[in-house]
Amino acid sequence: QVLLQESGPGLVKPSDTLSLTCTVSDGSISDYYWSWIRQSPGKGLEYIGYIYTTETSNYNPSLKSRLTISLDTSKNQISLTVTSVTAADTAVYYCARLRVGVGGYFDSWGQGTLVTVSA
Amino acid sequence: SYELIQPPSVSVSPGQTASITCSGDKLGEKYVCWYQQKPGQSPVLVIYGDNSRPSGIPERFAGSNSGNTAILTITGAQASDEADYFCQAWDSSAPVTFGGGTKVTVL
């Protein structure tokens, strides 16, 4: 059973950069696709992006100019960076394992981490 | 950008059948999956590939997808099924789109 754990600061100032890490236990991250998804308080799910290798990644077009998703295989971690944050970036951020085959679906999720953007 | 439309809420009596719709242009040509999310918890995959159940998901959860509409059916709804349900479509051009979510109330 793969376990995913998000970590990072819970409070970020407007215009600053948000950086989160997802640590994966019980399995190599090299074998799968990994994704970030967020959920604003009381709202629905928003796809942020996914990564398989540095050359194989996809970002939500509405966020792409501010996003970087990267892998650290030595630490079994996936990272997310969002620049120039605003209050609209306040959300619970989830990392999830993306299975690609019969379509694409997220079969394992982290517990999520709340990030609040506020001065 | 691609959109998926779900009804905001669905009510069902215990033991009865709940149907949650997810509509999108030519949705039947894409693969659809469904997630269940209870308050304060992470989403859980209940259907993938239109109609496949992951291990551990009860048989009362079933999915279908045709034309412009995908449907999640809960047959014999239980109190524990009360949750938000999100559909998600996968397409190679715009890989991931989520529906807005449907709150299922069992009463």
Q: What is the pLDDT along chain A (119 residues), one digit of tens a residue?
A: 899 999 999 999 999 999 999 999 988 888 899 999 999 998 999 999 999 987 799 999 999 999 999 999 999 999 999 999 999 999 999 999 999 988 999 999 999 999 999 99
The beta-carbon neighbor of A103 closest among B31, B43, B100 is: B31
Q: Burial of A28 by CB count in 10 Å (0-12 exposed, 13-18 middle, 19+ buried)? A: exposed
Residue B38 CA to residue A7 CA, distance in Å, equals: 22
The beta-carbon neighbor of A47 closest among B33, B48, B98 is: B98
User: What residues of chain B lie within 8 A of the CB of A97, using their CB?
Assistant: none
Which residue is listed with tokens 């999830």?
A96
Residue A100 CA to residue B28 CA, distance in Å, equals: 18
Residue of B9, B27, B42, B93 for testing the chain A interface, max A β-carbons within 10 Å:
B42
Residue B44 CA to residue A109 CA, distance in Å, equals: 8
Which residue is listed with tokens 């069902």?
B12
Q: Burial of B52 by CB count in 10 Å (0-12 exposed, 13-18 middle, 19+ buried)? A: middle
In this predicted model, what pLDDT tens digit does every residue of B59-104 receive, in sequence order?
A: 999 999 999 999 999 999 999 999 999 999 998 777 899 999 999 9
The sign of the torsion formed by the CA atoms of A33, A107, B27, B85 equals: negative
Computed on alpha carbons and rounded to an integer, the radius of gyration of chain B in Å comes to: 13
Q: Closest Cα partner for B10 from B56, B63, B71?
A: B71
The beta-carbon neighbor of A107 closest among B45, B50, B96 is: B45
